């Protein structure tokens, strides 16, 4: 029997997960571990890259052991039945390590970290934003890796000289995991991750010397860029007992687009996790945004799905499910995140209450680091249920802003939105979303789309699947939410939101770097 299983590693912002997935796209085993978040100063968010690695390795071992232990009587399960490994990862997070020891030289700077906002502002003032957008497809923002890497090189003692001497390695999280998984033999990152650095020319698929000069980054620290689908390297045999081929790599949001089988231009998904990330497949040419969305590499390869390169348009919303965490941890309104659904469903609407969840500024398409959260429209009859409903509405409204910008950039609106992520389980939120978009919102049977996406990429590279059609056939609908409100009511709700959002803008002008 040829190997028919894949090990998918899903390295997220708050936890590391590993899944064993079979050739039907079914999850056979899953292990997950949270790891510490560090907030050393206002606006700073750090991870210990060794925590990332240790938690990821531990869950990989756990998931494989679980899968083997579940063998039916008479069945043997060995690692020889695992065709390969797929890696999906939190993007933009920046790791710098010592090539000789394999140890990080500083804490990893997480995508949410705002410490480099002033440096980005200075580059904007100097007129570099337009060139950066043309080359990289991105907006000039502290979200992306370049300013974070520049910060590390400037602030870690000796880092600049050591980087120039070729002693240090920079990587996005995929790169770091592959380095550890291969015992330091491979220093690579995939094109979808490279496209999130602000250093990668998305037209030529190469690091850009002009941008390296702009951020003062020595070429010697950079990983080699590899396709998202294809053999990358074998893991160190000591880690799992036998070497396993790493054969699929993608940033987690691009992986989810693939896992949702959005293979044709115009297809889109939205992931409702900590933040919300909407991505649309725009085909083999980059679609330059004129509405402040991001143009990004969706994936490179596989030939079974697209000729070579596939691009996407993306809108990132910083506070999605994290808004519900705030209801739970900040306000104590609920004990568990899933309680928000019943609470919000206990009232027919938000009773005039409106929440703008700009707790960490506003992401796409507003890109306002100085916006702050707003709760408005309160009156003596307002209850916790109204606030819960306003919170869900605030999440859906931010996504509607992205959706509308996407329709303007692409020239045609998305016909239906495929959804996934923890908060997509919330029926009230999904109905609000369909009502605000005016198109159906579709929740698939399998919502582990991030892991599934890289399992598919690795499976295409190793022959487990042989066509995009075979993968698309495994995607199925669990529930479809149809819009239920009139155009006039939708327009009315959107207008109220825009009014509230306008009032949240530019609030924290004085402390630019601190969300
Ligand atoms: N039923 C629910 N309704 C609304 N939000 C939810 C619900 N269940 C989980 N969440 C939110 O979803 C997020 C977790 O989703 P997940 O996809 O695991 O996120 P991530 O991958 O970013 O860690 C949390 O922010 C949580 O508050
Ligand atoms: O780890 P997640 O799922 O919150 O995703 C983070 C994104 O990749 C950041 O761009």
If one counts every other C-beta atom within 10 angstroms of the C-beta of residue 381, the result is: 9
Strand partners, 89: 11, 251
Q: What is the pLDDT of residue 513?
A: 42
Domain ranges of the chain: 321-400+489-504
Q: By C-alpha distance, which of 96, 89, 231 is closest to 154? A: 96
Q: Is residue 2 predicted with pLDDT exceeding 80?
A: no
Q: Whose CA is nearest to atom 5 of ligand 2?
A: 90
Q: Give the nearest ligand 2 atom to 111 CA.
A: 9
DSSP tag of 186: -
Helix H or strand E segment including 505: none
What was the pLDDT predicted at 514? Answer: 41
Report how far ligand 1's centroid is from the alpha carbon of 421 (Å): 7
- Give the containing element (helix H, strand E) for 259: helix 252-259
Model confidence at 515, in pLDDT bands (50, 70, 90)? very low
Q: Which residue has the higher pLDDT, 513 or 50?
A: 50
Of 188 and 508, more confident: 188
**Burial grade of 474 (CB within 10 A; 0-12, 13-18, 19 or more):** middle
List the structure tokens of 426.
């919330």
Best of 18, 276, 319, 324 for a ligand 1 pocket test (most atoms within 8 Å of beta carbon): 324
Question: Alpha carbon 256 to chain centroid distance?
Answer: 8
> ipTM value of the model?
0.97
**pLDDT one-digit tens code per residue, 60-93:** 999 999 999 998 888 889 998 999 999 999 999 9
Percent of the chain clearing pLDDT 70 (strictly above): 98
Mean pLDDT of the 302-316 span: 86
> What secondary structure letter does DSSP report for 235?
P
Q: Residue 371 is encoded by which pair of tokens?
A: 């916006």
Atom of ligand 1 nearest to the CA of 421: 17
- Ligand 1 atom nearest to 14, measured from its CA: 23
The answer to whether 84 and 242 have CB atoms below 8 angstroms apart is no
What is the rounded CA–CA span in Å between residue 82 and residue 261?
22
The candidate with the shortest Cα–Cα distance to 146, out of 212, 74, 78, is 212
Nearest ligand to the C-alpha of residue 253? Answer: 2
pLDDT-derived band at 216 (thresholds 50, 70, 90) equals very high
- Secondary structure E strands in 286-358: 294-300, 309-317, 354-356
Q: Tell me which fold the domain 321-400+489-504 belongs to.
A: Nucleotidyltransferase; domain 5 (3.30.420)
Ligand 1 atom 5, closest CA: 423
Residues in contact with ligand 2 (CB, 6 Å cut-off): 12-13, 90-92, 111, 251-253, 273-275
d(CA 212, CA 346): 54
Q: Indicate the DSSP class of residue 94.
A: B
Residue closest to 470 by CA, chosen among 14, 24, 19, 11: 24
Helix (H) or strand (E) holding 68: helix 49-69
357 lines ligand 1 (CB under 6 A): no
**Which one, of 305, 243, 319, 220, lies nearest residue 274 by Cα?**
319
Task: Kindly tell me if the per-residue pLDDT of 252 is higher than 80.
Answer: yes
CA of 369 to the centre of ligand 1 (A): 23
Ligand nearest to the CA of 173: 2
Let me know: does 402 contact 278? Beta carbons within 8 Å: yes
Which pLDDT score is estimated for 74? 86
Helix (H) or strand (E) holding 269: strand 268-272
**Can you tell me the mean pLDDT for 42-62?**
95
| Position 206 confidence tier, pLDDT thresholds 50, 70, 90 | very high
**DSSP H helix total and E strand total for the chain:** 17, 23
| Annotation: binding site for sn-glycerol 3-phosphate | 13, 91-92, 143, 252
Query: What phi, psi does 178 have (nearest 5°)?
Result: -65, -40
More confident: 304 or 103: 103
Distance in angstroms (rounded) separating the CA atoms of residues 393 and 101: 49
What distances in angstroms separate CA 28 from CA 31, 249, 390, one per listed residue?
A: 11, 20, 38
Annotated binding site for ATP: which residue ranges? 13-15, 274, 321, 325, 422
pLDDT at 72: 87
What is the pLDDT at residue 341? 97
Confidence of residue 507 (pLDDT cuts 50, 70, 90): confident
Q: State if residue 322 touches ligand 1 by the CB under 6 angstroms criterion.
A: yes
Nearest to 277 by CA among 312, 253, 293: 253
CA dihedral over 302, 304, 307, 312, signed as positive or negative: negative
Query: Is residue 426 lining ligand 1, measured as CB closer than 6 Å?
Result: yes
CA atoms of 220 and 469, how far apart (whole Å)? 41
Instruction: For 175, list phi and psi in degrees, rounded to 5.
Output: -60, -45
- What pTM does this model have? 0.93
pLDDT tens digits along 106-149: 999 999 888 998 999 999 999 999 999 999 999 999 989 999 99
How do beta strands 276-283 and 200-201 pair?
A: unpaired
- At 455 the pLDDT is 97
């Amino acid at each position: 029997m040829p190997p028919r299983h894949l090990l998918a590693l899903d390295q997220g912002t708050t936890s590391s997960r590993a899944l064993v997935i079979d050739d039907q796209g079914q999850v056979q085993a899953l292990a997950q571990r949270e790891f510490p978040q560090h907030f050393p100063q206002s606006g700073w968010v750090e991870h210990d890259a060794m925590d990332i690695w240790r938690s990821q390795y531990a869950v990989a071992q756990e998931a494989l052991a679980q899968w083997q232990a579940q063998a039916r009587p008479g069945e043997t399960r060995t690692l020889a039945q695992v065709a390969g490994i797929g890696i999906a990862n939190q993007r933009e997070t920046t790791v710098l390590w010592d090539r000789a020891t394999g140890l990080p030289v500083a804490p990893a700077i997480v995508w949410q970290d705002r410490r480099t906002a002033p440096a980005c502002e200075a580059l904007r003032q100097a007129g570099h934003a337009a060139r950066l957008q043309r080359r990289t497809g991105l907006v000039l923002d502290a979200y992306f890796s370049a300013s974070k890497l520049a910060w590390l090189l400037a602030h870690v003692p000796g880092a600049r000289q050591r980087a120039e001497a070729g002693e240090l390695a920079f990587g996005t999280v995929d790169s770091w995991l592959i380095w550890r998984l291969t015992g330091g033999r491979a220093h690579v990152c995939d094109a979808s991750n490279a496209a999130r650095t602000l250093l990668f020319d998305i037209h030529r698929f190469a690091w850009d010397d002009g941008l390296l000069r702009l951020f003062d980054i020595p070429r010697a620290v950079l990983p080699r860029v590899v396709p998202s689908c294809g053999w990358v390297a074998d893991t160190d045999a000591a880690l799992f007992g036998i070497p396993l081929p790493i054969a699929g790599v993608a940033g987690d949001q691009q992986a989810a687009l693939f896992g949702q089988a959005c293979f044709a231009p115009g297809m889109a998904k939205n992931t409702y996790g900590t933040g919300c990330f909407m991505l649309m497949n725009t085909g083999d040419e980059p679609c330059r945004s004129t509405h402040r969305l991001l143009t990004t590499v969706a994936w490179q390869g596989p030939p079974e799905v697209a000729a070579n390169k596939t691009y996407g348009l993306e809108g990132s919303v910083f506070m999605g499910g994290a808004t519900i965490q705030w209801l739970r941890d900040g306000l104590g309104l609920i004990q568990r995140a899933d309680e928000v659904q019943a609470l919000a469903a206990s009232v027919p609407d938000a009773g005039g209450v409106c929440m703008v969840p700009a707790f960490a500024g506003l992401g796409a398409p507003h890109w306002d680091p100085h916006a702050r959260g707003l709760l408005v429209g309160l009156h003596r009859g307002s209850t916790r249920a109204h606030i819960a409903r306003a919170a869900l509405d605030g999440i859906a409204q931010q996504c509607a802003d992205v959706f509308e910008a996407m329709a303007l950039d692409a020239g045609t609106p998305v016909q239906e939105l495929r959804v996934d992520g923890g908060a997509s389980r919330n029926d009230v939120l999904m109905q609000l979303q369909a009502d605000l978009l005016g198109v159906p919102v579709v929740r698939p049977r399998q919502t582990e789309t991030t892991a599934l996406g890289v399992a598919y990429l690795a499976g295409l590279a190793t022959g487990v699947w042989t066509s995009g059609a075979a993968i698309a056939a495994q995607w199925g609908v669990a529930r479809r939410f149809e819009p239920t409100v009139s155009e006039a009511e939708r327009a009315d709700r959107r207008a109220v939101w825009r009014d509230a959002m306008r009032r949240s803008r530019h609030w924290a002008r004085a402390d630019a770097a601190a969300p």
